[in-house]
Amino acid sequence: MAVYSKILLAVDLSEESDQLIEKTRTIATNNQAQLTVIHVIEPLSFAYGGDVPMDLTTVQNQLDEHARSKLALFCEKLGYPVESQQVLTGHTESEIHRVAEENGCDLIVVGSHGRHGLALLLGSTANSVLHGAPCDVLAIRIYEPKD
């Protein structure tokens, strides 16, 4: 019997996201799990507090299209069948929780940058996903490239 049958991998599509590939593939393979991979884009209006005097639809569409291309490449690198890959727009943590619940996922995998100090006080995506998740959460340590 598999421990995890439906896994949700949430990626930020940074270069460091590739660090999630091997562990996610191993867990999915060992459990013969269905794998869903998502990337969440926060709407540009969130960044500007909703008070933007212009239409950002075109820019948002370009961001979405670019993210779809990067996500497709990421999924190819995974080397594991991906049941669904999605680029979503909204609050990152809320969208991850929603997709996990809708798909009946029993594991969410996210990267954790291991922030400390002020960044820790402000919270991280991995920490926010953990609190309120409908299932287990695996936060894989992401190492920043050394200059």
The domain in which residue 60 lies consists of 6-141
The answer to the question of residue 39 being in a domain is yes
Please give the model's pTM, rounded to 2 decimal places: 0.86
The answer to the question of residue 147 being in a domain is no
Band (126; pLDDT cuts 50, 70, 90): confident
| SS3 category, 42 | coil
Paired tokens of 110: 């996210």
The answer to the question of residue 1 being in a domain is no
Q: Average pLDDT for residues 2-11, to the nearest whole number?
A: 95
Residue type, 3: V
The answer to the question of residue 116 being in a domain is yes
The answer to the question of residue 146 being in a domain is no
Helices and strands, number each (H, E), in the chain: 6, 5
pLDDT > 60? residue 117:
no
Number of compact structural domains in the chain: 1
| SS3 category, 4 | coil
Q: For residue 53, what is the domain's CATH number?
A: 3.40.50.620
Q: Average pLDDT for residues 93-108, to the nearest whole number?
A: 97
Classify residue 73 as exposed, middle or buried by CB count within 10 Å of its CB (0-12, 13-18, 19+): exposed
The answer to the question of residue 30 being in a domain is yes
The answer to the question of residue 134 being in a domain is yes
Percent of the chain with pLDDT over 70: 83
